[in-house]
Structure 1
Amino acid sequence: MPSLHSPAPWNVRRLPRAEGRNFLVTGGGAGIGYFVAEQLAATGATVVLAVRDPAKAEAARVSIRTRVPGARVRHIRLDLADLASLEASVDALGLERLDAVVCNAGVLLDRPPRRETGDGNELMFATNHLGHFALVSWLTPLLTATPASRVVTTGSFTAKSESLDLDDPQSTRDYRPKRTYARSKLAQMIFGFELDRRLRAAGGTTLSVVTHPGGALDSLTPSRPPVRVRTAGERLRGLPAGLLLQSKEAAAWPTVRAVLDPSVRGGQLWGPRVFGIRGLPVLEPVRGHLADTALAARLWSVTADLTGLDPSSNLVART
């Protein structure tokens, strides 16, 4: 398990330059993913927004270029719920190197009924976990060919209090939307830690890092037209919550640090400083289900069976 070493000082407002590097952000068209992309674009890197809806992706690209003059940002279509489409999405990248993929996109349903993808998988588990597992599998040759590349997985603090039922990973017997969502994010986080163990065993330089954003609200989030405009009423209603929660702009900080900070190590967990809910990004201990290697190995096997893919098969050390 990685130690809680003392990383170098980090200023969320003065990020290191990253010209010549390529970053892929899933779900970069809105929410926290948008702010991850905006902050990474400000470093001079090329940022690719991987978004299901091309119109939303283009709106995000326009917004980023408005706020970051000269930003190198483009988008590709990515539907994580459609496993058969992911290979074509990766081909559309057209990159010779990929310095980081941010596995951020997610679906949260707040009420029944249970919904399935065209593949017959439960929608939240499919999008949040299965889709990213498959995407990383297709991206692994490009990532391992890029020195010191990173896979950064965005989890959720709600996942820490959940447990997986790998006899029913897709909630076919007892579907409860919030619990199913938390379990899908827990699976995603466990995958991130297991991926790093397998990367280390393969002797490569690619790192897998896990983050979570804490608690973020739209009412605390600054406007980014045409992506989203916060009303005066929302701003006022959000003031009390600001004592405990934060904006989606601030919620992007742990992920941005995990992508850029040279002191970050594989297998680490980064989240907000204040009770894991808000504040500057700090290193957190990896414990409980997140540190269960037997559970992780079983989840990996179940996921590989469901997707028909396995990132391990492409983990060849590159020099």
Structure 2
Amino acid sequence: MSSTPATPRWNVQRPPGADGRVFLVTGGNAGIGYFVAEQLSATGATVVLGSRNPARAEVATASIRARVSGARVRAVRLDLADLSSLRKAVESLEREVERLDAVVHNAGVALDDPPRQETGDGHELMFGTNHLGHFALTHRLMPLLSAAPAARVVTMGSFAAKSERLDLEDLQSRRDYQPKRTYGRSKLAQMYFGVELDRRLRAAGSTVASVVVHPGGALDSLTPSRPPVHVRSTGARLGAAPAALLVQGKHAGAWPAVRAVLDPAVSGGQLWGPRVFGLRGEPRREPVWKHLADPGVAEQLWDASCDLTGVDLSTISG
């Protein structure tokens, strides 16, 4: 009597191979994005770092190559705060690859203090970069994603978004700007986009899936050194030791995104985050937050994003 083999338990230290596949990580030159890129490079895939700073991207690629034998990693200049530059960035990528098996929408801006800042397009900087930039980039990348057998759009949200709610009448925070709240709302907008994108992809019969993830609590002081990309001092490591009971480093914050890219058991429309209280530990699927599952808000945000970017994502073809 035969039985179907059990699905292997996910091992964050040994993800499955992805030789021949191509992944783009926005903001892959630093922070969580760097570790997403490093971990994906270890699978044998070609990993492209999207970065607005070519010098920092070169440092990051050198670091990955030094740690991952035979790493296939390269960089493309990508500035999500400049919507007019995205066409050129994607055209550059199209000259290098025939398809894209996944994009990790990771890049982001987080401001701690006033004053309110704007992109060159006149959008509030965090909302414009974190959400609108990725919204427009997805439109540009869709031909490359559709050329892959089963591509994934993985959107990196934030645990900070769980306690936020969008103000659809003030998406640009013009009336009441509070940096931390504006950041949380920009990440919430990203997450709404990821959920709504998958709904529209399914309705269109597309082979592309959209997954939303968040890193939990990820601190620099708990992140292993990757000089010169990131250097953790002994003092910082010792001082952060108590926090390790509740949160983790950025290398572990990368795990949900890496799993969302690679695990065949992950499906579109899902939300993945750390196992322990959503703050630390190995990645697991969690219920989509109640406010994030509101299709009315998602649709209004989608329409507003089309208007603000000039991108027509009102229809998605399969």
- TM-score normalised by L of structure 2: 0.96
1:286 maps to 288
SS in structure 1 at match of 2:218: coil
> 1:256 and 1:282 mapped to 2: Cα distance?
12
2:241 maps to 239
Cα deviation digits, residues 215-263 of structure 1 (max 9, x gap): 0111110000121111111111111111111010011000000000001
Aligned residues of 2:303 and 2:314 also touching (Cα < 8 A): no
1:230 aligns with 2:241: no
> 1:96 and 1:312 mapped to 2: Cα distance?
25
1:17 maps to 17
> 1:264 and 1:50 mapped to 2: Cα distance?
24
1:187 aligns with 2:189: yes
1:216 aligns with 2:212: no
Aligned residues of 2:162 and 2:289 also touching (Cα < 8 A): no
1:307 maps to 309
Post-superposition shift, 1:316?
2.1
SS in structure 1 at match of 2:248: coil
- Counting only pairs closer than 5 Å after superposition, residues 1-319 of structure 1 correspond to structure 2 as 9-93=9-93, 94=95, 95-313=97-315, 315-317=316-318
Post-superposition shift, 1:167?
0.8
> 2:233 and 2:101 mapped to 1: Cα distance?
37
Post-superposition shift, 1:310?
2.7
Identity, % of aligned positions: 70
Post-superposition shift, 1:8?
5.5
List gaps (5 residues or longer) in structure 2.
1-5
SS in structure 1 at match of 2:273: strand
Aligned-partner residue type, residue 86 of structure 1: L
Post-superposition shift, 1:141?
1.4
List gaps (5 residues or longer) in structure 1.
1-5
Post-superposition shift, 1:289?
1.7
Post-superposition shift, 1:144?
1.4
> 2:227 and 2:288 mapped to 1: Cα distance?
38
Structure 2 CA distance for partners of 1:7 and 1:148, relative to 1, 3 Å: same
> 2:137 and 2:164 mapped to 1: Cα distance?
25
Post-superposition shift, 1:287?
3.0
My pick for the range that moved more, 128-137 or 282-291, is 282-291
Structure 2 CA distance for partners of 1:8 and 1:299, relative to 1, 3 Å: farther
Post-superposition shift, 1:204?
1.2
2:3 maps to none
SS in structure 2 at match of 1:142: helix
Q: How many residues align?
A: 311
Aligned residues of 2:306 and 2:314 also touching (Cα < 8 A): no
> 1:114 and 1:183 mapped to 2: Cα distance?
14
Tell me which of the two structures has the higher relative contact order, counting C-alpha pairs closer than 8 angstroms and 6 or more residues apart.
1
> 1:146 and 1:244 mapped to 2: Cα distance?
39
Aligned-partner residue type, residue 316 of structure 1: S
Cα deviation digits, residues 65-120 of structure 1 (max 9, x gap): 00001100000111000000001001111211100000000000001000011111
